[in-house]
Structure 1
């Protein structure tokens, strides 16, 4: 009952906060702020020839004293980034070149957007002109595939949006999951570059459980982007499902890198709880439907893993939908706390069963290998909600967790709620894979850390399904992330895509 009360309070607070922040968002839109755009350039490269040398100091002197008007990027002349062009800029360049002084401020030596606000302009800068924009694919040192997409140079607002994708089944090829970047009528790279943002994503270096790899590969992706396209003014990270956890860990752990984040439908509350949710459901399924899946429920045979999709459709699904076995399904849903929609029990219960079995059969052995041991234990668990709880608890399969796996999960998969940058989280109330309880648990972590009212903004959506959001809901959360990150001026570019106030 305590969990139910906390969940209800969490939902109310989420909706109240969504309303308050939406009012703020609308106010920003009505204020008519102009979306920023700027030309990438290299500081101190005053003559825009691609290198910084003595000719650049001469160029500054020519502009100051010889009426040279052939400098289309005055930002590049401002070598010391004090907001004006004067003789100190020539001195800064010469000191760097010949007196071992500190290099000019960013953007230097790579191209980038001016991170400071001043009255200087940059109409063109040939060495950093990305032309019409477009996407570039490549390979990271870890084996992760990456993609970087740029808007036209003149439209670039200096902000990089990184997308952390969700879970991919173990054994699938290591590649960027294209289908996860398609949302409603939108394709994320096209949508974001069309709004002036740079976009980057990658595949991670492995499929299956890839949280640690995802964190490391995205941090490396930031460096790849800087090397190829220069330092952005700000970096935001967004992700869904497993990518939601990766996003949260990145925002918590690297506040100097990321200006904010948006984590959707992720297991951000407690990774061990997520393992228990899958493990309990698998153990209970074996009790109520013992004749459907061959082999050890916690050590699935390779031939079953390889043929799982067919086995589920031809054997498992018909059985759980069989009216004669409805009582067993009802008990499974109660004892395993399946996240069913009460208004559509049968259909949503089937989705819940399909989802937890997919993880338990297809992906369990990969998780064991990745974590360095078995991650689930129910030796002392007492299950309740069946027609005969004593019989259930006497017969249900029992397993023990490996200490190494538990230590690994606590060290590298657990969030803290300690935020120094804004994090938006969004979750459906009836998530078939990642229970809404994660939202509740994370909110409590943030409260204990003192960041709930300052940096964490959680939104609850009354709907069934994993990551089952409308385009408008995601866009509003994205816009609010920008507002919380101090980029109110960029919100107007989203106005035509957002629902009417």
Structure 2
């Protein structure tokens, strides 16, 4: 009974029965965003679970529904604007003749299974109102990529598109943010300050803290001068920033957002979803790249995960690779938020499950996370749709070759790099003890480790 209650706390009502069907003719019509093609009918509202939704059906609907899973997670209450903004961002799908539907999810905060159920509820609502689509494609962007990839292992879709997806799962997909949290505190010592109540850094932030994002950014500025011109930073700020970036591999332009996640989203995961239990570890990690790695490794905070928390977080979001339909991924090579090495983690999961025949991965020479070129989205969804309908598996080269025809319409550019293959996930994110083994340490590093952590066994 205890295990059941813990999982229930994590999912926060995810086992609720889908909302009762509303009459199709009562689906509320709303004005379409100005980015949507003319003669498109849009609908919006709120389901009985509290999730807002937006739906767009073009006049020339081709019979395929693109069901969208958005990223985040947002920590505030759900709003109609969330789903409307997503419709605006991916209006290219409607321009290409697809119907589109996206949910805000029923609440803010982490919860992959919650988001899957709300997405499924929206699919059922669409079917009640418009009939069953000839084809249903699931699209996930960012954290939505994790949601869509997990949903594809649990529900039946015709095809899945994952773009800039967080595909390593939460139990290891956020390890570089775990590292950022402890490395930042080692150098800055202001999160928390010595004069404030102390707490273990794995929880991101104490539950009752009133800190805001702007307050956190002020502390980051205080320590690193990140918002100042380089010549205006003090020598200590410049050294702190250099060390933090070098050790964590986080790009300077997204350092604040990564630290924000490692603070506020970690707090949500730990306190609101896991009942205060710790799902993260950094034991055995050797941090390198600083001006004094020995001092850093002796001084950085260490902690070991609660295995029940790892189990519950893994149940919620980790991927097995057990896919049964075509899955196409597209990822910016220089994505500063969900590093491209997430694709290597996903490929390994799918390959280990014996499902590699269902996966095609493409990469683009772009440097943004939240959205890619509309020309590329159009080419990708067309390739996926053709694969679903004909059984002809595309290649990165064939998708790249098809993109210029779509770019004649959207003029956003085609940046596919067909020959690119990312390095392993562990090449970018330091592995942890446990399922992925101890990292390889030099003899000197092992001696340092064993001297100061004699009760933790390690094989050099």
TM-score (ref. length: structure 1): 0.63
Q: Please give the residue correspondences for 1:347-496 in structure 2 after superposition, counting only pairs within 5 Å.
A: 349-368=251-270, 369-372=272-275, 373-452=277-356, 454-467=357-370, 469-486=372-389
Are 2:220 and 2:256, in contact at CA under 8 Å, matched by a contact in 1?
no
Q: CA deviation at 1:439?
A: 0.6
Q: CA deviation at 1:481?
A: 1.3
Q: Cα–Cα, structure 1 residues 286 and 450, in superposed 2: closer, same or farther, change >3 Å?
A: same
226, 231, 234: which one aligns with 2:132: 231
152, 159, 179: which one aligns with 2:85: 179
Q: Please give the residue correspondences for 1:21-170 in structure 2 after superposition, counting only pairs within 5 Å.
A: 133-152=40-59, 155-170=60-75
Q: Please give the residue correspondences for 1:277-288 in structure 2 after superposition, counting only pairs within 5 Å.
A: 277-288=176-187
Distance 1:448 1:361 in 2: 33
Q: Are 1:262 and 2:161 matched, yes or no?
A: yes
Three-state SS of the structure 1 residue aligned to 2:210 is helix
74, 81, 93: which one aligns with 1:192: 93
Are 2:87 and 2:102, in contact at CA under 8 Å, matched by a contact in 1?
no
1:209-238 C-alpha deviation (Å, 9 max, x unpaired):
131111111111111111111111110011
Q: Cα–Cα, structure 1 residues 317 and 426, in superposed 2: closer, same or farther, change >3 Å?
A: farther
Distance 2:368 2:121 in 1: 32
149, 164, 167: which one aligns with 1:248: 149
Q: Give structure 1 stretches of 5+ with no counterpart.
A: 1-108, 112-131, 339-348
Q: Give structure 2 stretches of 5+ with no counterpart.
A: 1-22, 26-38, 393-401, 415-460
Show the counterpart of 1:216.
Answer: 117
Q: CA deviation at 1:137?
A: 1.4
Taking only aligned residues, the RMSD between alpha carbons, in angstroms, comes to: 3.2
Are 2:56 and 2:94, in contact at CA under 8 Å, matched by a contact in 1?
yes
Distance 2:108 2:117 in 1: 14
Distance 2:368 2:223 in 1: 20
Q: Cα–Cα, structure 1 residues 308 and 421, in superposed 2: closer, same or farther, change >3 Å?
A: farther
Q: Are 1:328 and 2:240 matched, yes or no?
A: yes
Three-state SS of the structure 1 residue aligned to 2:211 is helix
Q: Looking at CA atoms only, which structure, 1 or 2, has the larger radius of gyration?
A: 1
Q: CA deviation at 1:364?
A: 1.9
Greater relative contact order structure (CA < 8 Å, 6+ sep)? 1
